[in-house]
Amino acid sequence: MASFVKYGADGQVFVDHEALRRAEAEQKVKCARYLRFAFAAHIVVLILINVVVWAIWFILRSSQKGGTYQWPLWVTLGSVVLIVAHLLSMLPYAICQPSHMCPRWIWVILLNIALVNIVCWGVYATAEQQACPIENPHCEYLWPVWVSGATLLGGVVVSLLPCLIGAIFGIHDDVGDSEVEGMMYQSESD
């Protein structure tokens, strides 16, 4: 902070905008490097888990214990869902500009809620097709409706409440609350 802000003899605040821009650029590069590392580590761990699970299935499938049902497909599906969720969590920070009214973390939550609904309805469609023959009309139970209803309510609360509070009171944003930025905005308006 001391390198970005200087105080004049009369108490006026001066901000070194060039040093601030350099520091922000360095921070963005560092952040991008961390995000790439975290994503790569996530993929490596999930690949290792899937290799182990499929190896266990392959070893046990010939014996009476393992059977022929390909249960590791569910682990692989879960791994794919986790990778997609990770990408969706990074997406708003990669392509969206910060907003004082509606922060990017809300987009992360809403995108992941959409993913949960897609997965639930996909599992329902797959399982229902296998468990309930078409000639039995009493077999269907639309359990994903409960998931969709709860996530819809949660999405409304999570997204509208902070946005409304931010719009009304101006107290919620993800642009930055550092003292340097506060001083920078104050010095620019003077």
Summarize pLDDT for 6-39 with one digit per residue, the tens: 777 777 777 777 887 888 888 888 878 888 888 8
- Cα–Cα distance between 94 and 90 in angstroms, integer? 6
First to last CA, the chain: 20
Residues 27 and 114 occupy one common structural domain: no
Residues 3 and 33 occupy one common structural domain: yes
Q: Is residue 80 part of a domain?
A: yes
Higher per-residue pLDDT: 110 or 132:
110
Residues 76 and 116 occupy one common structural domain: no
Residues 82 and 168 occupy one common structural domain: no
- Cα–Cα distance between 71 and 53 in angstroms, integer? 9
Residues 167 and 87 occupy one common structural domain: no
pLDDT at 149: 92
Among 62, 96, 130, which residue terminates a domain? 96
Among 96, 117, 132, which residue terminates a domain? 96
- Cα–Cα distance between 137 and 135 in angstroms, integer? 6
Residues 84 and 5 occupy one common structural domain: yes
Q: Is residue 48 part of a domain?
A: yes
User: Pick from 82, 72, 73: which is nearest to 45 by CA?
Assistant: 82
> How many angstroms from the chain centroid is the CA of residue 182?
28
Q: Is residue 27 part of a domain?
A: yes
The tally of domains found in the chain comes to 2
Q: Which of 17-21, 70-74, 172-176, 185-189 has the highest mean pLDDT?
A: 70-74
Among 96, 115, 133, which residue terminates a domain? 96
pLDDT for residue 141 is more than 80: no
Q: Give pTM, 2 decimals.
A: 0.64
List of residues 6+ apart from 135 with CB closer than 8 A? none
Range of the domain at 111: 99-174
Residues 36 and 80 occupy one common structural domain: yes
